[in-house]
Amino acid sequence: MVLTLREHKEHQEGIRETLGKPLTGDDLVFAKPDGSSMSPSTVSHAFLDLRRKVGLEGVHLHSMRHTHATLLMKGGENPKTVQERLGHSSIAVTMDIYSHVVPGIQELAAMNFEEGLRRNRAAKQEAAARE
C-alpha cells in the first residue's frame, strides 16, 4: 500500500511539474491534476469500479476507512494520530468509536504508568548515586 501511495505521489508530482505548480504538504491525495479537490463521488465511483475488478463486491469505502482505523488502534498507534488521519473533530469522537477494539486498554495504561514510575525512580537513584 505504501509503495502504491509513493507511486501515486510521484505521478502527481510529474503532472504538477508539467503544469508548473509543485506539490505542497497540504495537497490532497485524491485531486484534479491542478491540485484542486475532486467531487467525493468521483472517488466513490472509482472505488466501486476497483472493487468489482478485484472481486470485493461486499466491501465499501467507509468499511475500509473503519478497518484502517481499527488496525491502527489494535496495533497500538497513538489515538491522536488516528484522529488526525480520520479527520475527526476531536479525540473524543475517535475514542468513542474505536477504544473498544483495544483489548486490555486499561491494563496497558496501568502498566505504562507503572513503567514510567519505575524509570523515574531509577533516574532519581542514579542522580543520587552521582552526588
The pTM of this model reads: 0.54
Residue 5: what pLDDT?
Answer: 82
Q: 11-66, pLDDT tens digit by residue?
A: 888 888 888 888 777 778 888 888 888 888 888 898 899 999 999 888 888 888 89
Residue 48: what pLDDT?
Answer: 92
Cα separation of 50 and 64, whole Å? 13
Radius of gyration of the chain (CA): 22
CB 69 within 8 Å of CB 81: no
At residue 1 the predicted structure's pLDDT band, cuts being 50, 70 and 90, is low
- Would you say residue 108 has pLDDT above 80? no
Q: 71-91, pLDDT tens digit by residue?
A: 999 888 989 999 999 999 999
Distant-in-sequence, close-in-space partners of 65: CB < 8 Å, separation ≥ 6: 86
